Amino acid sequence: MFSPIERIKENGRTKLSDVSENIRETTENILNSLERTVNELLDRHPKRESDIRNIQQLLLLKGERDLRYWMKKRQDNGEKFLKEFSISAEFFQRKFFELMALLEEVPQDGSVLDIACGTGDIAILAAMRGQKTIGIELNPSQIRMGKFYAQKLGIEVDLRVGNLLEGDLPAADHWVAKHPCAKGIALPDEILKRWESVDSAHTLTCMTCCQGKAQDSFPGYSGIDANEWKHLCRVSDWTNNSDEMKRFDGQVAMDKIDAFRVGFLREQGLSAEVKKVEGTIKGNMICCSRR
Ligand X SMILES: C[S@@+](CC[C@H](N)C(=O)[O-])C[C@H]1O[C@@H](n2cnc3c(N)ncnc32)[C@H](O)[C@@H]1O
Which residues sit at the interface with ligand X, rule CB under 6 A?
116-118, 121, 136-139, 142, 163-165, 178-182, 187
Nearer to ligand X, 41 or 136 (CB): 136
- What residues pair up with 158 in beta bridges, in sequence order? 134
Q: How far is the CB of 137 from ligand X (least distance, A)?
A: 5
Q: Which of 48, 169, 33, 149 is nearest to 99 (CA)?
A: 48
Nearer to ligand X, 8 or 206 (CB): 206
Q: How far is the CB of 6 from ligand X (least distance, A)?
A: 26
Nearer to ligand X, 138 or 270 (CB): 138
Q: How far is the CB of 185 from ligand X (least distance, A)?
A: 7
Q: How far is the CB of 179 from ligand X (least distance, A)?
A: 4
Q: How far is the CB of 282 from ligand X (least distance, A)?
A: 9
Q: How far is the CB of 10 from ligand X (least distance, A)?
A: 27
Nearer to ligand X, 275 or 290 (CB): 275
Nearer to ligand X, 23 or 137 (CB): 137
Q: How far is the CB of 225 from ligand X (least distance, A)?
A: 25
Q: Which of 50, 287, 58, 51 is nearest to 175 (CA)?
A: 287
Cβ atoms within 10 A of the Cβ of 171, count?
A: 11
The residue with its CB nearest to ligand X is: 118
- What residues pair up with 178 in beta bridges, in sequence order? 207
Q: How far is the CB of 95 from ligand X (least distance, A)?
A: 9
Check if the beta carbon of residue 262 is closer than 8 Å to that of residue 273. yes
Nearer to ligand X, 129 or 179 (CB): 179
Nearer to ligand X, 126 or 136 (CB): 136
Write a three-state SS string for the chain: CCCHHHHHEECCEEHHHHCCHHHHHHHHHHHHHHHHHHHHHHHHCHHHHHHHHHHHHHHHHHHHHHHHHHHHHHCCCCHHHHHHCCCCHHHHHHHHHHHHHHHHHCCCCCCEEEECCCCCHHHHHHHHCCCCEEEEECCHHHHHHHHHHHHHHCCCCEEEECCCCCCCCCCCCEEEEECCCECCECHHHHHHHHHHHCCCCCEEEEECCCCHHHCCCCCCCCCCCHHHHHHHHHHHHHHHCCCHHHHHHHHHHHHHHHHHHHHHHHHCCCEEEEEECCCCCCCEEEEEECC
Nearer to ligand X, 16 or 206 (CB): 206
